[in-house]
Structure 1
Amino acid sequence: MPTQLEIAMNTMIRIFHQYSCKEEDRFKLSKGELKMLLQRELTDFLLCQKDPQLVDKIMQDLDANKDNEVDFNEFVVMVAALTVACNDYFVEQLKKKGK
């Protein structure tokens, strides 16, 4: 039986490939595929943002090799950074409650 972490890893992999297979290179996200993934999988995150250029900025930040696509490694960097930010927020909220 898989552990919770193994299930989370499997989910990340499946979500990436669910969106990456829609256009050209099935192992990379185009800008359109990234936008669709963000809109459907990170809905609350996007709703909190006011910047209409957010997807373009995320694409530029993630696209380390500047090929105008996001590969799985670049995608994982985004998920990790968002997870760290959420954890930092959670820790701060706990600290405030502890005072």
Structure 2
Amino acid sequence: MSANLKGAMVDLIDVFHKYSGKEGDKYTLTKLELKNLLKNELGEFLEGPNDACVVEKIMRELDDNKDGVVDFQEFVGLVAALTVACNEFFKSDSS
């Protein structure tokens, strides 16, 4: 894990591209690619990453332009929201 912001940005890009392009456009995540990313990278943060309904709901919420795939900008929105939630958890836990 990176110890600096630049490294964290590189890691975020690398994780996205590790899963994107296995099917379809190499710059987007299909539903299956998103499911694999959620399960492998964020499984401990999300309930039910193997549940098709959960993945479908996350896909709908992330897919701002409704093109059926998640691009990098849409993916970053998920990561940002989870980061904020984790920060709030740790803030309230230490109070």
Whether these two folds match at TM > 0.5 is yes
1-structure distance, mates of 2:48, 2:33: 21
Secondary structure of 1:54's aligned partner? helix
CA distance in 2, matches of 1:21, 1:11: 17
Match of 1:9 in 2: 9
Higher radius of gyration, 1 or 2:
1
- The C-alpha deviation readout for 1:42-67, integer Å capped at 9, x for no partner, is 12123xx2583111110000000000
Residue aligned with 1:44, SS: coil
Aligned-partner Cα distance in 2 for 1:36–1:50: 12
- Unaligned runs of 5+ residues in structure 2 are none
**CA deviation string 1:30-85 (max 9, x = no partner):** 00000000011012123xx2583111110000000000100000000000000000
* Residue 94 of structure 1, CA deviation: 1.0
Over the matched positions of the two proteins, sequence identity in percent amounts to: 51
The runs of at least 4 consecutive aligned structure 1 residues that moved more than 6 Å come to none
| Residue in structure 1 matched with residue 24 of structure 2 by the alignment | 24
The 2-side partners of 1:34 and 1:12 are apart by 14
Whose helix proportion is higher, 1 or 2? 1
Instruction: Give the alignment's TM-score, normalised by structure 2.
Output: 0.90
